[in-house]
Amino acid sequence: MRTTSTPRRLAAIVVASVGLVLPLAVTAAPPAVAADRTSTTEARRVDRVKTPKISWVEDVERGGYTGKARLPLDYDKPTGSTVTVALFKVPAADPSRKLGTLFLNPGGPGASGVDMAADAVNFLSQSVLDRFDIVGFDPRGTNRSTEVTCFSSPGAQASALSGLSGAFPAASEQSAFLASKAKLGSACSTYGAKLASAMSTAQVARDLDVLRRAVGDKKLNYLGFSYGSYLGEVYANLFPDRFRAIAVDGVLDPVAYAGTSLTKGTPASIRLKSAEGSWAALRAGLEACADAGEDYCLLPDPQSDFDQVAAALKASPLTIGDGDASYEYRYADFVYDMLSLLYYPEGMNYVVQTVAALKQMIDDGTQTTSGKEAGDRAAGLVLALHEATASLDAGYDNGLEAYSSVLCTDAYQPSSTSTWLAATAKANARAPHFGQLWGWTDVQCATGSWKAKDEDAYHGTYSRNTAAPVLIVGNYHDPATNYGGAVEASLLMPNSVLLRSDSWGHTAYGTSDCVTDRVDGYLLTGAVPAGTADTVCTGDVQPFAIPLVGDPGSGGAGTIKVPTRDGLPKVQVPWERTDG
């Protein structure tokens, strides 16, 4: 997840959920009435679409099969214009015992399900890989599928978006930032409108139902992360009798995300209270560092040290590097980097290491340093983080346009971009630093400039009585889709069970056997394991648990994966542990 000067990095932020609270366990009771059925309208929309034939082509290098499916641009016109959706399949390792197909979505909106499926052997349990074909797809408008493009050329795009100078604008940059966001909204409502107005999550859910049929499954099996939780929520409410298992992890409060006629005057980015979740996760981590003491924590006063570094960078950026390789490390870069690191269970350790490195440079009065010298670990760490998150892509990058085309057609939004000025200021008062970072992400959705509407976007109930249970996973310290969103979703959905995890980083699957075994058990059996609603799992990785002298298992150096664009680990930053 990255928000810096390029469209790719601006598209990074994964839409998140409500503020962090820790209520008692939510135990789902069986539905009191008969399960709901797919409406006649929705059944007609998808069932009259001819089942696409997917020709799978082996990809030896990635260990699976690529495929494409042609689907209607508009489900009200099933024989009209089409979009191509790219897929990737990893066949079941034990085909004689195959249960069906497990569809994956990594979030974004706009992240690549193709890439996620290709990486499935590295994060899914072998028991799941044995029993399911794993299929990921790039949602319409994104990545290898038919891409939405709102500008006629890379040059036109660069010119229109020239005001997007950072993760979020300083006061002097706000006018240019708002102007570029308005140009983006206008471009996606004119040049890019044909596809931009057909990219709501409801359209992707309809695609998913047709793809379910295309792979030969009578019922859907689905595992969605982050924004992918909203896709799961919409599918469950559009097609409440058409799935066997839906597990969602890193869960959005769907009502806050989509909004209502009463809340449309507040931006979706503010309704979701993502900033409050990020701030809560950071503060909890800094408190844990202080509690761990000097043998485990590099900072003598973690919260104060963090505040000092933030204030210093807000007053004046640091210059890192020499000559042509130098760059200004600004306050907005710092806030973004802190959030990026919080995405991983081990991230708080690197937050503290980065703060300590910057504090050393600031205290020493070092405004320019190479960062390349063997002994200059302080600047080297920050430089590595900067280089790893820099965009290396050339040509037309539609990441921001794809992200926007989903969010802006899904969610009710204010009419004027000026609304965001006051809204982000108030959010920043509630959640210092992060209020601006999250709050500015959806200004392009202001309805005064974004006119591309999807008449078939979903604005219905999120409380359908589904025939099968939904498993909802919430992580107490998730900095993006925090625990409150999982609680709200579980309260809305009568036939759901909430699994709680006291863990760090974004999403919880894979952070402990406790979480992973319960999710796997649900996917394999279609039933939520007994006792899940009364369970609180604990993540295997806890911050500041390793003494500063030495290294946590890798001999003094290693890598941490830093999220870019869509919140997925795309790059690795070298780090070195500072001895005590």
- Give the 3-state secondary structure of 547-572: CCCCCCCCCCEEEEEEEECCCEEEEE
Residue 434's SS3 state is helix
* Burial (CB count within 10 angstroms: exposed 0-12, middle 13-18, buried 19+), residue 541: middle
> How far apart, in whole angstroms, are the C-alpha atoms of residue 416 and residue 401?
19
Give the number of other CB atoms < 10 A from CB of residue 175. Answer: 12
Residue 317's SS3 state is coil
> How far apart, in whole angstroms, are the C-alpha atoms of residue 478 and residue 361?
30
Give the mean pLDDT of 335-352: 92
Which residues neighbour 157 within 8 Å (Cβ) at sequence distance 6 or greater?
A: 7, 150, 151, 396
Q: What pLDDT does residue 389 have?
A: 53
Q: What pLDDT does residue 364 have?
A: 79
Q: What pLDDT does residue 482 have?
A: 86
Give the number of other CB atoms < 10 A from CB of residue 556. Answer: 10
Q: Please give the share of the chain, as a percent, with pLDDT higher than 70.
A: 83
Which residues neighbour 530 within 8 Å (Cβ) at sequence distance 6 or greater?
A: none
What is the chain's Cα-based Rg? Answer: 23
105-147: pLDDT as tens digits: 999 999 999 999 999 999 999 999 999 999 999 999 999 999 9
Give the mean pLDDT of 309-325: 85
For residue 186, give both structure tokens: 């206008």
Give the mean pLDDT of 526-549: 93
Q: What pLDDT does residue 287 have?
A: 98
pLDDT at 452 over 90: yes
Residue 82's SS3 state is strand
Q: What pLDDT does residue 396 have?
A: 79
On whether the CB atoms of residues 28 and 490 are closer than 8 A, the answer is yes
Across 180-194, 319-333, 503-517, least confident range:
319-333
61-75: pLDDT as tens digits: 999 999 999 999 999
pLDDT at 77 over 90: yes
- Highest averaged pLDDT of the listed ranges 311-315, 320-324, 329-333: 311-315
Average pLDDT, the chain: 86
pLDDT at 393 over 90: no
257-279: pLDDT as tens digits: 999 999 999 999 999 999 999 99
User: What is the fold of 1-580?
Assistant: Rossmann fold (3.40.50)
> How far apart, in whole angstroms, are the C-alpha atoms of residue 291 and residue 280?
16
Give the mean pLDDT of 203-217: 98
- Report in angstroms the alpha-carbon separations of 352 from 39, 261, 315, 381, 490: 52, 42, 21, 12, 34
On whether the CB atoms of residues 515 and 473 are closer than 8 A, the answer is yes
Q: Please give the share of the chain, as a percent, with pLDDT higher than 90.
A: 76
The pTM assigned to this predicted structure is: 0.88
